[in-house]
Structure 1
Amino acid sequence: MNILVINSSPNKDKGNTALILNPFLEGMKEEGAEVEIYYNKDLNIQPCKGEVSCWMKTPGKCILDDDMAWLAPKAIKADILVLATPVYCDGINTHMQMFLERLLPRAMPSIELREGHTRHPHREITQGKLVLVSSCGLWELDNFDSVLSHIQSYCRNADLEFAGALLRPHGLFLKRMLEQGAPATDVIEMARESGRQLVKGGRIPVGMQATVSKPLISQDMFIRIYNQGVKRRQGDDV
């Protein structure tokens, strides 16, 4: 099984998103999957120009000459595409959005009816799956509603099977709890087991997704500890 991973966190493998992503990938490797990971920060990906030469003048080929020339074919051919992105304000970050938009040459300019909805057909017919891994700093799980809706919509348009999402709210607290030896290792182990199950069964079980996303502290405690940290940092800056 060929798995391509795109991590758009500017902190790469040291960020809060990687806390969940890394054990998830380890679990897939343990089941024999071949995992290839790239960080948007290391890539030269320009924004889509929106002039659709890839549809009309040079079908399937983008006019931009950057790293998408070799990365896009990998993404299209992957058995599983894993998109890892932090959520800062709302939705996926800019780097991941540019990556997705630059996959446009895969689509054709014509329109077809697919599952009762008008969509663009694709040049390559694949049976790929897509998984979302994301973290955010706020406490509530619904902070991921926008990014989850975005990725699910992308899957429908790209004719990919959405195979699940590992979402980690108040990700910074997970990092601190692990550093302090607090009881949070079950979240990491469940992320690893999610990788194993994805390779074996083709999807991440819903119960495992829920464990990875579970609250680590109460909402009131989250607010209190977070604001105490802000006051300390403000004092250091004075």
Structure 2
Amino acid sequence: MTKLLVPTLLTILLTGCANSSLFSGWGEEQAPRNSQQHSAPKMQVVNVMADPNAPAIDYSQAQQQASANLYGNAPADALYGNGSSTNARMVTKHVGDYVQNMTQDLIANMEYLTDKTPVGVTNFALIDSDLQRTNLLGYQLSESFIHELHKFRIPVIDFKATNYIRVTEHGDYLLTRDFLELTEKAPIEYILTGTLTKHQGGYLVNARILGLKSKAVVATAQMLMPFYVVDALLPSEHSMVDGVKLTQGE
């Protein structure tokens, strides 16, 4: 009985060793094949250290370029101004905002005027001219002052209004600049007028209210209007000088 068990055990041990070597050989053959199929890509190492000899980056120019790409060329020109201003910036205010502050200054030091005193508003003249020249800014200042004075309940007389409505193919109009179509007299006692002085940073606006008969100044205001605000005004015609169209009175 013992003699029969010994050969049997030897046979089992030899068979197990053969199978073990067989399986170990199969694994060794398959391992290189699998590693070749699923090998990880090599890592590309990039040096992120800044080059001390590299030129400096103009981030302001890059920001303006990014804004131009975001808004397009035309809206970006409207936002940053299209005139001769060297320090273009985002236009967050318009002429009316500055006129509002100037009107508050006028009201603060105003004399003799009441809510029953009729006031007329004229265009602002260029100070280095014969006072018969203005520009688009001079036109818009008078329009904005009419609005602000009315907000303070000061009666404003628009002397450019005619006694009739002119119906044409291009539209229906009440206002005119032809003095022959205007009434000879208007119930105006005081006039809001002023001058424009071109400044290195913009336009210096000088506003005043004076008596039509006495010529006495009863209120004054002064403010520097930056170029980027003035350049945001776009004339409807292309003949411009310094970003605005010059006109001459008669």
TM-score by length of 2: 0.22
Higher Rg of the two aligned structures: 2
More helix by share: 1
